[in-house]
Structure formats: C-alpha cells, structure tokens
Amino acid sequence: MASVTGFPTSSDIYLELEGKKVAVVQSYTAKATRTSTPVEAFGESEPVGTIASQNQYVLELTRLYATDDAIADGIDFYALADFSLVICKPDRRVIYSGCNWNAIAEEGKLGTMVAEKVSVVAQKRMEVMG
C-alpha cells in the first residue's frame, strides 16, 4: 500500500509530556473558536467595529495508544495534565500546548492501554517550520 505524501500517520500525531512522547493518536479533529463583541458608538445605528475575544482550541482525539515507555512508567490517561498534542506535517509541526482533557471514553480490551476518544482543551496553538 503506497503512502500518501503530506498526510499525517498515527506516528506523526502524538501526546508529549515533559519532552517525552507518551501516546500516539490515530486521528484528531481540531476546532478553534472565539467570540466577537460589537463596539457601539453614540448616534450610530450600526456597530463601528468589533473586539475579538481569546481563541479557544478544542480537540477530539481518537484511539490513543500509550507508548511502551509510558506504559512502563505507569501512564494514567486520567492523570495527564498540561501536556502537548504534536501534529507533524511535511513542512511544519503544529503544537497545541497547555492541554488538559475534559472527557475520556474507553473501550476495554485485554492487554491494551487504549483510550478510544479524548476531548482536550488547549491553551495555545503554534506552528513550527521544518
């Protein structure tokens, strides 16, 4: 099976904690939102501008597999806090940092450390070239 250039694989999407890869992620969806507040001026019938609020990043991660090292260290997905999601693309890395989970759904299978779906809120998003 030929690989498609430019499409991230599960080894290219991972959780990082204190500089260590702790889990690989099969797939993700990312949603950035922010609200805008209209600026009203006396005597104007329409707003004269808008003020944007801070960005909020919500990520839905599907099928997280703990790395062998993380399993050996006793990883607990429920205890993860202040981690990063790293997405490696051909020309850059997208890093969501300051992440905390807000929902975890598991599927129990013997002998695996897998979380089926994890919803994450990230503090910051940045892109690093190269």
| CATH, range 10-129 | 2.40.30
pLDDT at 93: 93
CA separation (Å) from 55 to 7, 34, 99, 109, 128?
26, 5, 14, 37, 19
Range list of H helices, the chain = 68-72
d(CA 16, CA 24): 9
pLDDT at 112: 60
Structure-token pair, residue 60: 């839905």
Structure-token pair, residue 82: 């202040």
pLDDT at 31: 95
Domain ranges of the chain: 10-129
Contact, 98 vs 54, CB < 8 A? Answer: no
pLDDT at 64: 87
28-81 pLDDT, tens digit per residue, is 999 999 988 989 999 999 989 999 889 999 999 998 888 889 888 888 889 999
d(CA 125, CA 5): 24
Contact, 99 vs 87, CB < 8 A? Answer: no
pLDDT at 1: 38
Enter the pTM of the model: 0.78
